[in-house]
């Protein structure tokens, strides 16, 4: 405006300024690409380095009779630098219920992971009816278990198909019987198309409690020797919990069961209660024994 610079000079200045900045911008964007490449490489190498599961196709099937489970001197850690489970010994008698309680991160789910052989123990043995888990194939081992977990897993398909997932050859009558013993039959019949109602991918058209009842029906249909309930009722309300509780009690009859629960009401009636802390069993006994011991369980119960 004061006439000291011509239009030509100022345009030239602006063009040079942009040209000067461009490589700096380019370098910045290459840098972000390099960073995501490094993150991707980390995952690729983790996969390449992962040790494959040992081939167990030629190992015999598990012949469970009753379902007595023993952990003997078991050591395990996810990453070798931080020990988690050390020298764990426990016995679950056939047909009895073992409850595991303890703060979050104390290793309750880890025990289940080891039992199902999602991870192998570092040392020690887990036996089922005195057969070491490593001496049988994983498929047959897992067929003897049913699990009901906190997060329900349903797929897009009919109610019927979702329950039958446990045993695809089950007859209609068997599926309805399983739903009845899970206290799920009455709500299923009230659905628009009963057993043929399509469930959305995540069970979106059902309540949390209803989804849980379906997974219980699934476990009932599978009818295995050993049952695992891992915080199965922690995401439902108290009324639903009481309904599910009846289904659970029925399912626990004559089965070896591991029950992990936040609410101590659920585990009071267990035959054996294990109290875990930092990967160790620090107390064990029945509800009454643990209360009269005035230990960690006593504190937990009163809290
Ligand atoms: N897949 C995993 N990989 C590495 N660490 C894990 C894994 N699962 C659990 N952990 C760690 O192991 C410890 C015990 O976890 P977990 O058995 O799930 O506890 P709980 O079920 O009692 O809440 C925690 O410190 C947790 O961070
Ligand atoms: Mg857990």
- As a residue count, the chain comes to 303
| Cβ(181) – ligand 1 distance below 6 Å | no
Considering only residues 67 and 202, tell me which one the structure prediction assigns the higher pLDDT: 67
- Residue 98's DSSP bridge partners are 258, 272
Ligand 1 atom 7, closest CA: 78
Question: CATH for 69-302?
Answer: 3.40.50.300
Q: How far apart are CA 101 and CA 74, in angstroms?
A: 19
What per-residue confidence (pLDDT) applies to 248?
80
Buried b (16+ CB within 10 A) or exposed e, 138-175: beebeebbbbbbbebebeeebbbbbbbbbbeebeeebb
The model's confidence at residue 40, banded by pLDDT at 50, 70 and 90, is: very high
| Cβ(108) – ligand 1 distance below 6 Å | yes
Q: How far apart are CA 262 and CA 161, in angstroms?
A: 31
Instruction: Classify residue 268 by burial, with Cβ atoms within 10 Å: 0-12, 13-18, 19+.
Output: middle
What per-residue confidence (pLDDT) applies to 123?
93
* Tens-digit pLDDT profile for residues 230-242: 888 776 777 777 7
The number of the ligand 1 atom at minimal distance from the alpha carbon of 104 is: 23
Give me the mean pLDDT over the 244-248 stretch.
Answer: 78
Angle at which helix 238-252 crosses helix 208-222, to 10 degrees, equals 0
Handedness of CA 249, 254, 258, 264 (dihedral sign): positive
Coil, strand or helix: which one is 109? helix
- Residue 145's DSSP bridge partners are 226
What per-residue confidence (pLDDT) applies to 67?
86
- The answer on pLDDT for 244 being more than 80 is no
- Residue 26's DSSP bridge partners are none
The helix (H) or strand (E) run that includes residue 238 is helix 238-252
Ranges of each domain in the chain: 69-302
The model's confidence at residue 176, banded by pLDDT at 50, 70 and 90, is: very high
- The answer on pLDDT for 30 being more than 70 is yes
- Asked if 124 contacts 72 with a C-beta cutoff of 8 angstroms, the reply is yes
Residue entry with tokens 């005035």: 294
Q: How far apart are CA 100 and CA 107, in angstroms?
A: 10
Task: Say whether pTM exceeds 0.95.
Answer: no
Ligand 1 atom 4, closest CA: 78
* Tens-digit pLDDT profile for residues 96-118: 999 999 888 899 999 999 999 99
| Cβ(215) – ligand 1 distance below 6 Å | no
- The answer on pLDDT for 76 being more than 90 is yes
């Amino acid at each position: 405006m004061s006439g000291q610079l011509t239009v030509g000079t100022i345009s030239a200045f602006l063009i040079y300024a942009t040209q000067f900045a461009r490589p700096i911008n380019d370098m910045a964007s290459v840098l972000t690409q390099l960073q995501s490449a490094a993150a991707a490489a980390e995952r690729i190498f983790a996969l390449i380095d992962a040790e494959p599961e040992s081939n167990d196709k030629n190992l015999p099937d598990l012949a469970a009779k009753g379902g007595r489970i023993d952990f003997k001197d078991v050591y395990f850690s996810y990453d070798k630098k931080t020990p988690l489970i050390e020298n764990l010994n426990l016995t679950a008698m056939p047909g009895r219920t073992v409850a595991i309680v303890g703060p979050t991160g104390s290793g309750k789910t880890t025990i289940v992971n080891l039992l199902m052989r999602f991870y192998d123990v570092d040392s020690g043995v887990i036996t089922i009816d005195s057969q070491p888990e490593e001496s049988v194939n994983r498929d047959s081992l897992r067929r003897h278990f049913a699990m009901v977990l906190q997060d329900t897993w349903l797929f897009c398909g009919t109610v019927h198909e979702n329950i039958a997932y446990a045993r695809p050859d089950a007859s209609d009558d068997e599926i309805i019987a399983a739903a009845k013993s899970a206290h799920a039959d009455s709500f299923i019949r009230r659905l628009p198309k009963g057993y043929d109602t399509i469930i959305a991918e995540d069970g979106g058209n059902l309540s949390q409690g209803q989804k849980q009842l379906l997974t219980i029906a699934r476990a009932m249909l599978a009818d295995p020797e050993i049952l695992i309930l891992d915080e199965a009722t922690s995401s439902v309300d108290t009324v639903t919990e009481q309904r599910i509780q009846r289904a659970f009690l029925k399912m626990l009859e004559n089965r070896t069961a591991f029950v992990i629960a936040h609410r101590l009401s659920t585990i009071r009636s267990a035959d054996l209660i294990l109290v875990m802390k930092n990967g160790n069993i620090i107390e064990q006994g029945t509800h009454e024994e643990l209360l009269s011991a005035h230990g960690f369980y006593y504190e937990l119960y009163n809290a």
